[in-house]
Amino acid sequence: MAIDIFDKYASIEDRHRALLGIGGDPFGVKVDRIISATEALIDGRHTILVGTNNYLGLTFQPECVAAAKAALDTDGTGTTGSRIANGTYDRHTSLEAAFARFFNRQKAIVFTTGYQANLATICGLAGPDDFILADADSHASIWDGTRLSPAETVVFRHNDPEHLDRRLTRLEGKGQCKLVIVEGLYSMLGDTAPLAEFVEVKKKHGAWLMVDEAHSFGVYGAHGRGVAEAQGVEEDVDFIVGTFSKSLGASGGFAVANHPKFDLLRLASRPYMFSASPSPATMASVAEALHQIELRPELRTRIWANAEQLHSGLAALGFHLSAPLSPIIAIRMPDEATAVMAWNRLIESGVYVNLALPGGTPNGACLLRCSVSAAHEPAQIATVLGRFAALASELDSRRQAA
């Protein structure tokens, strides 16, 4: 009897079936209608969104919407091919120039997704005689970029510059270039990298440093350029990669650098060369979103105030929070069944958060992951905390009964 091609996923199927036995499907949520950057109708319920990564709330910004609509009228719905094959639109080059200006860098490249930005940059930078040194908690797109690269990958402990130092010491005299990859703000736990310490290690060993600022762009730093700006080490970071799908409210990615030969990636990196380029509407809305970030520093003030309100409120309720204050607030649950139950209670009460389970979390953690937005009103966060208070009471009752 022939083996079914999906038999390899039997354990995933069983695990998903068990999850559905507890309640709704956290990985198949159907949004009936988006009402605003912070609210939606889900299964007929008015729901506050606290898990969208819409950090600056720009998805409904009138200027961004108008720019996208205008681009549809003038340039159509898509580019229908890669820039290598179909050419470069003026919108591509003007958006790249805008990113270069924003980051005070000489070069910028835009990509169709943030995932592709990591794939293209990593496999383009690291060749067969090179080494990649990646933080153990790196995003899936970083790991897939390392797999696509012919370089050898070495893992170092999460946020541990001393361990990186020891790894690089062992590699002295081996290979050619060493590319160190870390994230500014880690998407699961909400902790930040000690970039200043990583910079010192990089300098000591003559390595190159790439920082993924996907979740920190727009939020950290005096100008919103990320954790590297906030920690005062921008000039020592060689390559910065980020996404359009968080603070910029769209879909796409970017990479910036000062290296004069950075544009060679356009001729050497397969994910860039063979992917259709970003659509005109995306490029237009992102260009305007960049302008809004520069124009409205108060957005960063608001998101940090909202983060403080939610973080301190959850801590006061006795929840185990995974990291100090950041726009990502991850609550540790004792086990998978409790996490799934808690997620169901929240969405039933009109609060959407992310459920993050082992396989996609560091060290097998079971998390309820929240992300705040500058668009949240204090009253909305107070409502969310009220729903979490009810959840805390139920969890306490279950513990006492156990």
Supply the residues annotated as catalytic: 187, 215, 246
Q: How far apart are CA 17 and CA 13, in angstroms?
A: 6
Tokens of 128: 């067969």
